[in-house]
């Protein structure tokens, strides 16, 4: 799990549900986020209130904490400042004799505040020869969804069981009620892997409504606009690789995450709003310290969170850095990936520096 215990060590000893939510918002495989949104929408009936709105009704928990407990607020900011490369979502990448390239950390949401890029980024996108996102399959989400579900081992319980058989009667009742509240029948998802079902609770209601109205994630918009302009669009991962990363994790961890995400309920709006505000402030390092304070300790073990961090964050960071290198060696590229992939001593910023690039925060 990512934390802010020091510039070199970033593993926490108190995992929380909030950490999982953060990972899914800022580092969850982008292509899967797009596919899951499409899947969820296909399973729920249309509602009269499915209109575009950035308002999720959430409150900024950090702003409240600053008023109610200034010392605790200050400690969160201080812990965030210890995270290597934890300040900044927009970075300039340079090497002698090459045109500069750029790196933008994103949140995989369609909130217009996030889709509006920081100062200098739109100009960098316009001038770039190549736009790079986590997966170029993002250009056709329906085709990507079909490809994802064509390989049942990545998304379905292939042992013949149903999700209900992996849960206690009480847990199953809670899951059925939670799905029903979102317009989804348990029978429709009963053979899906638990991490896939979790997506219906990890996505805020306003995000689902925006997606239903055709709003695009920032990364998706970048790729689509670039393709429309005839620019080269490249991906750093394949859909199968992203799905494999999730399916590699133990089902026990996914089941814990599913039930604890369900328990979060409407508080996800507050978590989402607080993370968004920190993201817009460029303070990625403070996200985990914030979540450790506002979320109670949960049933997810240190081993669980270590496995999640390694497979979903760190392993993929290495792949992204390796596949970015030949693109960056040509210069004038614009890379956009989940913000949590940037920070830390094993984040993309640090890894690209080890490859000989000068990487500097912009603004």
d(CA 293, CA 65): 10
Local confidence pLDDT in tens for the 363 residues of the chain: 233 223 333 333 333 444 444 444 444 555 555 555 555 555 555 444 444 445 577 889 899 999 999 999 999 999 999 999 999 999 999 999 999 999 999 988 888 899 999 999 999 999 999 999 998 887 886 777 777 777 888 888 989 999 999 999 999 999 999 888 877 889 988 998 888 888 767 677 777 777 777 778 888 899 999 999 999 999 999 877 888 888 888 888 888 888 877 877 777 788 888 889 999 999 998 887 887 776 544 566 667 777 888 888 899 999 999 999 999 999 999 999 999 899 999 999 999 999 999 999 997
d(CA 38, CA 42): 6
d(CA 170, CA 189): 18
Pair 7, 82: CB distance under 8 Å: yes
Pair 99, 360: CB distance under 8 Å: no
d(CA 155, CA 158): 9
Which phi and psi (to 5°) does residue 90 adopt?
Answer: -130, 125
**Predicted local confidence at residue 21, as pLDDT:** 42
d(CA 338, CA 325): 18
d(CA 8, CA 267): 32
Tokens at residue 170, please?
């009480």
d(CA 271, CA 263): 13
d(CA 259, CA 174): 8
Q: SS in 3 state form for the chain?
A: CECCCCCCCCECCCCEHHHHHHHHHHCCCHHHHHHHHHHHHHHCCCCCCCCCCCCCCCCCHHHHHHHHCHHHHHHHHHHHHCCCCCECCEEEEECCCCCCEEEEEECCCCCHHHHCCCCCHHHHHHHCCEEEECCHHHHCHHHHHHHHHCCHHHHECCCCCCHHHHCCHHHHHHHHHHHHHCCCCHHHHCCECHHHHHHHHHCCHHHHHHHHCCCCCHHHHHHHHHHHCCCEEEECCCHHHHHHHHHCCCHHHHHHHHHHHHHHCCHHHHHHHHHHHHHHCCEHHHHHHHHHHHCCECCCCHHHHHHHHHHHHHHHHHHHHHHHHHHHCCCCEEEEEEHHHCCCCCCHHHHHHHCCCEEEECC
d(CA 63, CA 49): 29
Measured from the Cβ of residue 356, the count of other Cβ atoms closer than 10 Å reads 11
Tokens at residue 226, please?
């670039």
Which strands form 333-338's sheet, in the order they lie side by side?
232-235, 130-133, 333-338, 101-106, 90-94, 358-361
Place of tokens 């039930």: 259
d(CA 18, CA 205): 18
Which phi and psi (to 5°) does residue 75 adopt?
Answer: -70, -35
Tokens at residue 172, please?
């199953």
**Predicted local confidence at residue 81, as pLDDT:** 94
């Amino acid at each position: 799990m990512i934390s802010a215990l020091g510039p070199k060590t970033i593993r926490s000893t108190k995992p929380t549900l909030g950490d999982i939510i953060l990972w899914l918002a800022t580092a969850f495989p982008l292509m899967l986020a797009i596919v899951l949104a499409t899947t969820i929408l296909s399973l729920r009936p249309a509602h009269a209130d499915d209109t575009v709105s950035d308002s999720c009704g959430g409150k900024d928990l950090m702003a409240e904490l600053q008023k109610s407990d200034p010392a605790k607020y200050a400690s969160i900011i201080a812990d965030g400042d210890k995270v290597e490369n934890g300040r900044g979502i927009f970075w300039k990448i340079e090497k002698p004799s090459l045109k500069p390239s750029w790196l933008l950390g994103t949140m995989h949401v369609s909130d217009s505040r996030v889709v509006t890029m920081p100062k200098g980024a739109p100009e960098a996108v316009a001038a770039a020869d190549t736009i790079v996102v986590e997966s170029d399959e993002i250009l056709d989400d329906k085709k990507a969804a079909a490809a994802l579900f064509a390989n049942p081992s990545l998304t379905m319980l292939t042992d013949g069981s149903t999700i209900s058989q992996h849960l206690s009667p009480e847990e199953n009742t809670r899951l059925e009620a939670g799905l029903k509240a979102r317009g989804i029948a348990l029978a429709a998802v009963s053979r899906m892997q638990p991490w896939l079902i979790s997506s219906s609770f990890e996505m805020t209601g306003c995000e689902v409504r925006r997606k239903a109205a055709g709003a695009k994630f920032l990364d998706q918009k970048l790729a689509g606009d670039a393709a429309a302009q005839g620019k080269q669009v490249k991906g750093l991962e394949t859909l199968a690789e992203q799905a494999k990363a999730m399916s590699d994790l133990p089902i026990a961890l996914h089941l814990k995450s599913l039930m604890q995400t369900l328990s979060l309920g409407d508080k996800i709006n507050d978590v989402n709003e607080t993370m968004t505000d920190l993201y817009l402030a460029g303070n990625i390092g403070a996200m985990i310290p914030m979540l450790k304070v506002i979320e109670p300790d949960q049933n997810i073990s240190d081993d669980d969170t270590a496995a999640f961090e390694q497979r979903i964050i760190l392993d993929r960071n290495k792949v992204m850095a390796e596949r970015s290198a030949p693109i960056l060696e040509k210069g004038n590229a614009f890379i956009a990936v989940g913000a949590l992939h940037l920070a830390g001593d094993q984040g993309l910023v640090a890894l690209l520096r080890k490859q000989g690039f000068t990487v500097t925060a912009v603004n």
